Structures are given as C-alpha cells and as structure tokens.
C-alpha cells in the first residue's frame, strides 16, 4: 500500500460497497494504465476483488475491498498514526 495511488484506491474502496474503474479513475486522476496496474497489484495481494463484466455492450470493471484488504488498510492507517504521533 506504500504507493500513493494504491493508498488512494484503498481509501476510496473502504468507504463504499463497490466502485467501478471509471469512478476510481475520476477520483484519483490516474491514467487508465497506471490505475490498471495498481488494481492488479492490490488484487494479487488479496486486498481487493475485481469483477469484469459488461453494462449493456460497454465493458465494466468493479472493485471491492476484501476483508483481508480492510484489515491491511486499518493496520496501515494505525501505523501511520503511530509514526505521526512519534514525530510530534
């Protein structure tokens, strides 16, 4: 999750049931290629699930945070808070 874009994706998914590729791209300002790579990395780590399908004739990719991803995200945020508090 050390990548800024991966952290942004996880932050967005933590607050919703699911998000499609277009929404994530708009919210992060990432390029399609970079977003796709980071989604693949998060999926390979088991942090998100990715479902590819169609809405009508248009391809649609939907992402959801997994329980493992939720736990990893919470632990990451907790560690960041600890580091910030130690620096004060």
- Which domains, and CATH codes, for the chain? 4-86 (1.10.10.10)
Q: What is the pTM of this model?
A: 0.91
pLDDT at position 2:
81
3-state SS, residue 2: coil
For residue 53, how far is the Cα from the chain centroid?
A: 19
* Cα 41 from Cα 47, distance rounded (Å): 9
- Tens of pLDDT along the chain (88 residues) come to 789 999 999 999 999 999 999 999 999 999 999 999 999 999 999 999 999 999 899 999 999 999 999 999 999 999 999 999 998 7
Containing H/E element for 43? helix 32-44
DSSP string, 8-29: HHHHHHHTSS-EEHHHHHHHH-
Residue 1: per-residue pLDDT: 73
Dihedral class, residue 65 (left if φ above 0, else alpha if ψ from -120 to 50, else beta) = beta
Report the pLDDT value the prediction gives residue 88, as an integer from 0 to 100.
75
């Amino acid at each position: 999750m050390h990548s800024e874009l991966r952290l942004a994706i996880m932050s967005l998914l933590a607050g919703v049931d699911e998000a499609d590729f277009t929404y994530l791209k708009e919210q992060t300002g990432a390029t399609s290629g970079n977003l796709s790579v980071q989604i693949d990395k998060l999926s390979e780590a088991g942090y998100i699930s990715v479902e590819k399908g169609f809405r009508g004739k248009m391809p649609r990719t939907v992402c959801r945070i997994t329980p493992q991803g939720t736990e990893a995200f919470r632990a990451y945020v907790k560690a960041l808070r600890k580091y910030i508090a130690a620096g004060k």
